[in-house]
């Protein structure tokens, strides 16, 4: 279907099903229970899952296929956000022009930065992209304050022109929408003790994520994708065969920059604010972590990695010592305190520590990321059923 | 490899799938029937405490959280009641808010707008918080304030000093108890005039972001109004840790006063550098060279150590104040945690009480009712003397403290001494003052 082979089609359907039923999958615990702490099915986090999924898919097109490690991808995300918020301010609260402009702007930035950075490879390329990203961050944070809002970020205001929407009605700032469908709108479904939230914004993002995912599959399977893989395996050999690799790497860089811009535009569409720290180098590092955690060069890996990191950031960091004491209240006092003291450094503000440990474990024991974990498990079960036939039946395989 | 083979059947299938995808979100459009966002229906009410637990302001965040926990304890009738006993409004009973037990959720802002908004959103969407409070930098406060306006919950700002929070970025659902840059400038100017005379040449080093700009502007305009001259104003990057290269030109400029519009670690480093360069032992234009730090905090004073001795600055509150409210607060905080509270702890504690009291007086948690109860509300007994929550911009007007680094500190908490308590009238400004122009409050939002 859709020009994909059978394996890819089933992968796409799997991702679509996951995205469609995410409100159910992510809310497995009843509302009042102690485990409700681990529910992640609220609109903001689900939107983050898919938006950072898009960001990581795009990053993977560059890093996974060509092997060029960009350490400045957050710059494109930030540029996309600023472009989108300016569109909301000047043109219309409809998300369509905002997202289109954010993709275009990020693409242009990527073209310029990529043209310069791609003259070098390896560590020099990484450092160049990092330098450019930090430069845009510093510009946005202070020098360009009139355009970017500086530290306080770019926000909507009541007196923005919004040419297409006409004069603002009422005393409140209008919210972004898709031809009248408000992004923040949602509806609740309550079944027994469970509550599920279906957010317009989430499904909008999810559909765009599916489209981006589909596009990424097509790129992976195209002759262009094969060329990118060739660059990764041996660029010298390509040059000796008389092929110029640079246009291909530049194209990959721009495409992945546009993905980042799309993610930035969507972030602004869900929450109309753009801040400079979105471009800070730690944000660039985060997407590298996502991709490696999930599985470099695999199709679905980056999405899984993005989900895992965002889950930890938003769920783990909110567990405080009171909640821990609540969980272990059934234990005798001394033991309760001991266990809480032992666990406490790893949750709440210590979530970075847990993430770091997990990252180390994945890199050491599962170099292929979460996808490799999935492959190992399915191989384990596959053997029991039908010999070694399942060796290649798993979702995807890492590029070499 | 691509294998595209366009067939009639394939096209039909594709468009059916795409159509279903596009139609999907419109299935779910019904909205819930609650009167306002997160209306508490059970026997409890949830507040969201959104403070920096990691990053440069983690110390302030930890102190804020302590104060929030203390406030919740007092609201629920535990402890000794703290400032609830000295508060001029007696609506609070010590049985929670409106009879509902107060519960809270905490989050980490990481001192980043995005993280702060994500954390606040999860409090609103997942935990059902009806009020968000906290923040330890103006960028975060402004971002979360805008979010709360959109979502239809009340935001009680924590430590945020920039004019913009209740200036160009003010929102109807947001309230600030803390003072601002303008007030710092207005309070400092007369004290500086008494101490250093009215013909000084000032040199500004300013942190290169919004708060730095508004503070520089405020201090400049109030000192220039009394006759000082501003020789130069140089912006320093926020990430700067060594200010030597910025300090050296100060001496050649002919200036005799250095104003450090820095906060947190920036201020600790720049002040230390300036003292190491021997600026304070110099004589320029026949006068002793002086250094001024517009915004002081105890945590900063501790970082800079002996270098703060004799240096003027302003602060919102200090634990050595001897009014009944301050004494009651210092006592209950000290008994619970073993050391005196910082100004960050004070402002967050007061904000929580003010919110609870407004709900009691309004008889509802409905944001618009709470806004109405807080607007133009006058109160006393919360440590800053008579205070007014002005309805025009949701800023508190109260006395401002001018402090000086203590010459002979007796403990690690006793680093600042109060030079003067500047009365509220002197720091009051018109809502349309040039430093606060632009932006509009809008109207309160109840959300869904």
Give the start-end residues of each E strand in B30-173.
Answer: 44-51, 101-108, 131-134, 154-157
Token pair in block for residue B255: 């200036």
Confidence of residue A209 (pLDDT cuts 50, 70, 90): very high
Cβ distance of B162 and A152 shorter than 8 Å: yes
- Residue B349 predicted with pLDDT over 80: yes
- Residue B438 predicted with pLDDT over 90: no
Residues of B in contact with A27 (CB under 8 A): none
Token pair in block for residue A153: 């970020």
Q: Which residues pair with B291 in a beta bridge?
A: B258
- Residue A145 predicted with pLDDT over 60: yes
Identify which of B10, B25, B121 has the shortest CB distance to residue A200. B25
Identify which of A159, A277, A348 has the shortest CB distance to residue B53. A348
Cβ distance of B2 and A3 shorter than 8 Å: yes
Q: What does the pLDDT read at residue B66?
A: 94
Identify which of B107, B113, B443 has the shortest CB distance to residue A172. B443
Our CA dihedral for B404, B410, B411, B415, rounded to 10 degrees, sits at 0
Q: What are phi and psi of B306, to 5 degrees?
A: -65, -15
Question: Kind and range of the H or E element at A186?
Answer: strand A186-191
Residues of B in contact with A170 (CB under 8 A): 443
Residues of A in contact with B447 (CB under 8 A): none
Token pair in block for residue A194: 């469970």
Residues of A in contact with B109 (CB under 8 A): none
d(CA A332, CA B322): 43
Specify the higher pLDDT residue, B13 or B250.
B250
CB atoms within 10 A of CB A398: 16
Identify which of B108, B237, B439 has the shortest CB distance to residue A157. B439
For B103-152, what is each residue's pLDDT tens digit? Answer: 999 988 888 888 899 999 999 988 899 999 998 788 899 999 999 998 99
Distance from the B262 Cα atom to the nearest Cα atom in chain A, whole angstroms: 14
Mean pLDDT value across residues A34-48 = 88
Q: What is the mean pLDDT of chain B?
A: 88
Question: Kind and range of the H or E element at B324?
Answer: helix B324-337
- In this structure, of A39-48, A346-355, B195-204, B276-285, the range with the lowest mean pLDDT score is A346-355
Q: What does the pLDDT read at residue B19?
A: 57
Confidence of residue B17 (pLDDT cuts 50, 70, 90): low
Give residues 138 to 197 of A whose Cβ lies within 8 Å of B.
138, 141-142, 145, 150-153, 155-159, 170-173, 175, 181, 184-188, 197
A325 contacts chain B (CB < 8 A): no
Q: What does the pLDDT read at residue B26?
A: 42
Q: What does the pLDDT read at residue B24?
A: 47
SS3 A188: strand
A29 contacts chain B (CB < 8 A): no
- Residue B28 predicted with pLDDT over 60: no
Q: What does the pLDDT read at residue A211?
A: 96
Q: What does the pLDDT read at residue B25?
A: 43
Burial class (CB in 10 A: 0-12, 13-18, 19+), B90: exposed
**Which residue do the tokens 């469609």 mark?**
A20
Question: Kind and range of the H or E element at B120?
Answer: helix B113-125
Burial class (CB in 10 A: 0-12, 13-18, 19+), B358: buried
- Residue B436 predicted with pLDDT over 60: yes
Q: What does the pLDDT read at residue A99?
A: 96
Q: What does the pLDDT read at residue A264?
A: 96
Cβ distance of B3 and A3 shorter than 8 Å: yes
> Residue B194 contacts by C-beta under 8 Å, 6 or more apart in sequence?
none
Q: What does the pLDDT read at residue A170?
A: 67
d(CA B211, CA B222): 17
Q: What is the mean pLDDT of chain A?
A: 88
For A167-182, what is each residue's pLDDT tens digit? Answer: 656 677 888 889 888 8
d(CA B347, CA B317): 8
d(CA B3, CA B317): 71
Q: Any idea what DSSP says for residue B413?
A: T
Mean pLDDT value across residues B204-233 = 91
Question: Kind and range of the H or E element at B436?
Answer: none
> Residue A169 contacts by C-beta under 8 Å, 6 or more apart in sequence?
none
Q: Any idea what DSSP says for residue B136?
A: S
- In this structure, of A151-155, A357-361, B21-25, B116-120, the range with the lowest mean pLDDT score is B21-25
For B202-214, what is each residue's pLDDT tens digit? Answer: 999 998 888 898 9
d(CA A335, CA A341): 10
- In this structure, of A274-278, A311-315, A348-352, the range with the lowest mean pLDDT score is A348-352
Confidence of residue A392 (pLDDT cuts 50, 70, 90): very low
Please say whether the dihedral angle defined by the alpha carbons of residues A266, A262, B168 and B191, taken in this order, is positive or negative: positive
For A266-302, what is each residue's pLDDT tens digit? Answer: 999 998 989 888 899 989 999 999 999 999 989 999 9
- Residue B305 predicted with pLDDT over 50: yes
Cβ distance of A187 and B29 shorter than 8 Å: yes
Specify the higher pLDDT residue, B33 or B427.
B427
Please say whether the dihedral angle defined by the alpha carbons of residues B246, B230, B437 and B369, taken in this order, is positive or negative: positive
Confidence of residue A396 (pLDDT cuts 50, 70, 90): low
Confidence of residue B34 (pLDDT cuts 50, 70, 90): low
Mean pLDDT value across residues A56-65 = 95
Helix ranges restricted to H, chain A: 6-20, 22-25, 43-66, 74-90, 95-117, 122-138, 145-148, 200-221, 223-233, 235-240, 246-270, 281-294, 301-314, 321-327, 333-343, 351-365, 369-386
Identify which of A155, A207, A221 has the shortest CB distance to residue B2. A221
pTM for the predicted model, two decimal places? 0.86
Specify the higher pLDDT residue, B315 or A163.
B315
Token pair in block for residue B11: 């096209």
The fraction of chain A above a pLDDT of 90, given in percent, is 58
Please say whether the dihedral angle defined by the alpha carbons of residues B295, B296, B297 and B303, taken in this order, is positive or negative: positive
Q: Which residue of A has its CA nearest to B112?
A: A277
A198 contacts chain B (CB < 8 A): yes
How many A-B residue pairs are in contact by the CB < 8 A criterion? Answer: 162
Cβ distance of A151 and B209 shorter than 8 Å: yes
The fraction of chain B above a pLDDT of 90, given in percent, is 61
The full DSSP string for A289-302 is: HHHHHH-TT-SSHH
For B364-417, what is each residue's pLDDT tens digit? Answer: 999 999 999 999 999 999 999 999 999 999 999 999 999 999 988 888 888 899
**How much of chain B is in helix, strand and coil states, percent to nearest 5?**
40, 20, 40
Q: What does the pLDDT read at residue A59?
A: 96
d(CA B395, CA B376): 10
Mean pLDDT value across residues B277-301 = 88
CB atoms within 10 A of CB A199: 25
Q: Which residue of B has its CA nearest to A272?
A: B147
Cβ distance of B1 and A226 shorter than 8 Å: yes
d(CA A69, CA A59): 9
The fraction of chain B above a pLDDT of 70, given in percent, is 92
- Residue A380 predicted with pLDDT over 80: yes
Burial class (CB in 10 A: 0-12, 13-18, 19+), A377: exposed
- Residue A47 predicted with pLDDT over 90: yes
Q: Which residue of A has its CA nearest to B125?
A: A42
Distance from the A379 Cα atom to the nearest Cα atom in chain B, whole angstroms: 26
Strongest mean pLDDT among A156-160, B165-169, B184-188, B205-209: B184-188
Q: What is the CA radius of gyration of chain A?
A: 22
- Residue B448 predicted with pLDDT over 90: no
Residues of B in contact with A313 (CB under 8 A): 115, 118
d(CA B232, CA B259): 10
Confidence of residue A204 (pLDDT cuts 50, 70, 90): very high
For B259-284, what is each residue's pLDDT tens digit? Answer: 999 988 888 899 999 999 888 888 88
Confidence of residue B29 (pLDDT cuts 50, 70, 90): very low
Integer angstrom CA distances of residue A24 from A204, A256, A374? 17, 31, 22
- Residue B12 predicted with pLDDT over 70: no
Q: What are phi and psi of A196, to 5 degrees?
A: -120, 135
Burial class (CB in 10 A: 0-12, 13-18, 19+), B41: exposed
Distance from the B163 Cα atom to the nearest Cα atom in chain A, whole angstroms: 12
Residues of B in contact with A150 (CB under 8 A): 209-210
């Amino acid at each position: 279907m859709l020009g994909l082979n059978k394996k890819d089609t089933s992968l796409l359907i799997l991702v679509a099903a996951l995205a469609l039923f995410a409100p159910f999958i992510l809310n497995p615990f009843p509302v009042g229970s102690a485990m409700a702490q681990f529910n992640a099915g609220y609109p903001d986090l689900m939107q983050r899952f898919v938006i950072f999924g898009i960001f990581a898919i795009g990053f993977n097109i560059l890093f996974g296929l060509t092997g060029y490690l960009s350490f400045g991808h957050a710059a494109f995300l930030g540029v996309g956000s600023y472009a989108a918020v300016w569109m909301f301010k000047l043109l219309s609260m409809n998300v369509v022009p905002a997202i289109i402009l954010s993709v275009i702007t990020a693409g242009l930035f990527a073209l310029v930065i990529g043209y310069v950075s791609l003259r070098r490879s390896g560590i020099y390329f990484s450092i160049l992209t990092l330098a450019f990203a930090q430069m845009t961050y510093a510009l946005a944070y202070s020098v360009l304050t009139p355009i970017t809002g500086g530290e306080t970020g770019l926000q909507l205001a009541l007196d923005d022109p919004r040419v297409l929407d006409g004069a603002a009605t009422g005393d409140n700032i209008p919210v972004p929408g898709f031809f009248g469908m408000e992004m923040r709108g949602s509806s609740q479904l309550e079944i027994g003790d469970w509550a599920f939230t279906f957010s317009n914004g989430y499904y909008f993002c999810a559909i765009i994520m599916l489209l981006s995912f589909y596009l990424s599959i097509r790129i992976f399977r195209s002759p262009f994708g094969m060329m990118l893989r060739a660059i990764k395996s041996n660029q010298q050999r390509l040059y000796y065969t008389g092929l110029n690799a640079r246009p291909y790497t530049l194209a990959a860089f721009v495409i992945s920059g546009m993905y980042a811009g799309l993610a930035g535009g969507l972030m602004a569409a869900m929450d109309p604010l753009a801040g400079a720290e979105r471009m800070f180098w730690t944000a660039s590092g985060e997407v590298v972590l996502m991709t490696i955690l999930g599985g470099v060069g695999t199709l679905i890996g980056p999405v899984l990695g993005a989900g895992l990191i965002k889950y930890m950031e938003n769920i783990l960091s909110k567990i405080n010592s009171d909640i821990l004491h609540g969980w272990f209240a059934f234990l005798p006092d001394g033991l309760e305190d001991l266990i809480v003291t032992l666990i406490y450094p790893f949750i709440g503000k210590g979530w970075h520590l847990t993430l770091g440990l997990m990252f180390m474990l994945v890199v050491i024991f599962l170099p292929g990321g979460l996808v490799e974990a999935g492959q190992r498990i399915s191989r384990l079960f596959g053997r029991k059923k039908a010999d070694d036939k399942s060796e290649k039946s798993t979702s995807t395989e890492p590029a070499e | 490899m691509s294998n595209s083979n366009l067939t009639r059947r394939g096209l039909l299938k594709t468009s059916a799938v795409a159509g279903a995808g596009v139609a999907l979100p419109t299935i779910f459009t019904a909205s819930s029937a609650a009167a306002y966002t997160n209306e508490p229906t059970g026997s409890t009410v949830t507040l969201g405490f959104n403070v920096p637990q990691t990053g440069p302001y983690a110390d302030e965040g930890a102190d804020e959280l302590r104060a929030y926990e203390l406030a919740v304890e007092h609201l629920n009738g535990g402890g000794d009641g703290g400032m609830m006993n000295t508060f001029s409004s007696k609506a609070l009973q010590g049985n929670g808010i409106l009879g509902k037990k107060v519960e809270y959720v905490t989050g980490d802002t990481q001192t980043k707008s995005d993280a702060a908004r994500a954390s606040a959103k999860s409090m609103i969407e997942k935990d059902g918080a009806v009020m968000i409070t906290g923040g330890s930098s103006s960028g975060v406060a402004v971002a979360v304030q805008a979010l709360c306006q959109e979502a239809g919950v009340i935001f009680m700002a924590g430590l945020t000093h920039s004019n913009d929070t209740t200036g160009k970025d003010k929102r109807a659902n947001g309230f600030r108890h803390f003072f601002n840059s303008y007030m710092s400038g207005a309070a400092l100017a007369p004290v500086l005039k008494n101490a250093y005379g009215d013909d000084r040449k000032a040199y500004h080093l300013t942190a290169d972001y919004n708060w730095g700009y508004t503070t520089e502007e405020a201090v400049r305009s109030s000192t220039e109004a009394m006759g000082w001259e501003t020789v130069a104003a140089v912006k320093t990057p926020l990430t700067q840790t060594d200010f030597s290269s910025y300090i050296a030109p100060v001496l050649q400029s002919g200036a005799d006063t250095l104003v450090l519009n820095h906060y947190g670690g920036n201020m600790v480093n720049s002040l230390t550098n300036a003292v190491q360069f021997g600026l304070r032992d110099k004589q320029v234009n026949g006068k002793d060279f002086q250094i001024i730090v517009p915004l002081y905090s105890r945590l900063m004073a501790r970082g800079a150590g002996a270098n703060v001795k004799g240096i003027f600055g302003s602060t919102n509150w200090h634990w050595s104040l001897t009014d009944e409210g301050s004494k009651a607060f210092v006592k209950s905080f000290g008994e619970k945690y073993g050391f005196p509270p910082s100004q960050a702890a004070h402002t967050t504690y007061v904000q929580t009480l003010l919110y609870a009291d407004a709900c009691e007086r309004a008889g509802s948690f409905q944001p618009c009712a709470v806004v109405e109860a807080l607007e133009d509300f006058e109160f006393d007994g919360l440590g800053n003397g008579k205070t007014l929550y002005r309805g025009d911009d949701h800023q508190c007007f109260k006395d401002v403290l001018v402090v000086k680094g203590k010459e002979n500190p007796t403990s690690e908490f006793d680093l600042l001494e109060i030079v003067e308590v500047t009365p509220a009238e002197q720091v009051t400004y018109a809502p349309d003052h040039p430093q606060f122009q632009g932006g509009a409050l809008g109207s309160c939002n109840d959300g869904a």
